[in-house]
Amino acid sequence: MFLYGASGHAKVIVDILESCGMTVEGLVDDNPEIDSLLGYPVFHGLTEDISPLIVSIGNNRIRKMIVERVKADFGKAVHRSAIVSPRCTLGEGTVVMQGAVVQSGAEIGKHCIVNTGASVDHECRIGDYVHISPHATLCGNVTVGEGTWIGAGTTVIPGVKIGKWSVIGAGSVVIKDIPDGVLAVGSPCRVIKYEYNR
């Protein structure tokens, strides 16, 4: 497995791969000053023949840009301490981190991050390039649109729909639908900025 991106997020993914007994062949990064990470070599300028690959960058927009730029087959990674139902789906490039839970019937899109201790319950629909931050809780039948970032410790009640490319602030309690492209925070969660994250 190769990783694209050699910073803090990559360190966690290396731990995940090692926990599963998977081989890390190396990392790719655009910063020429980084030559190694956790003892693994870091290459520069490679965009082909680096398969399977996981883009190990936390920023959703940058992750999408790199996915669209490189030519690779994409892998996925699930830490051995995560609880992932065999009746859920995980898209290519998706990472499920330590202690996370993904329940039966959940659909996680491509190149998503289900971060440390996050919980995604039954029948949730998570679009591509979504980041569900540490200890966020998505109750049953929640929908999250492409590119949205759910902040750490957020709770989303059952049946809520959150739009594309929005940001939900840390610790929010989302009790009603949130539109595309906004910043929303608080308990209860309210939109505080429109045309955000576009």
Token readout for 20 is: 């599963």
Active site residue 122: yes
Spatial strand order in the sheet of 155-156: 83-84, 101-102, 119-120, 137-138, 155-156, 173-174
Locate 194 and state its tokens: 């429109």
Contacts of 90 (CB under 8 A, 6+ apart): 76, 78, 84, 96, 102, 108, 112
Q: How far apart are CA 181 and CA 185, in angstroms?
A: 13
Catalytic site residue from 44, 79, 122, 131: 122
49's CB contacts (< 8 A; 6+ apart) are none
**DSSP 3-state assignment of 63?**
helix
Please check whether residue 124 is in contact with residue 156, taking contact to mean a CB–CB distance below 8 angstroms.
no
Residue 162 to residue 149: CA distance in whole angstroms: 10
CA separation for the pair 176, 198 (Å, rounded): 22
Dihedral of the CA atoms 115, 128, 187, 160 (nearest 10)? -120
Among all residues, which ones are annotated catalytic?
A: 122
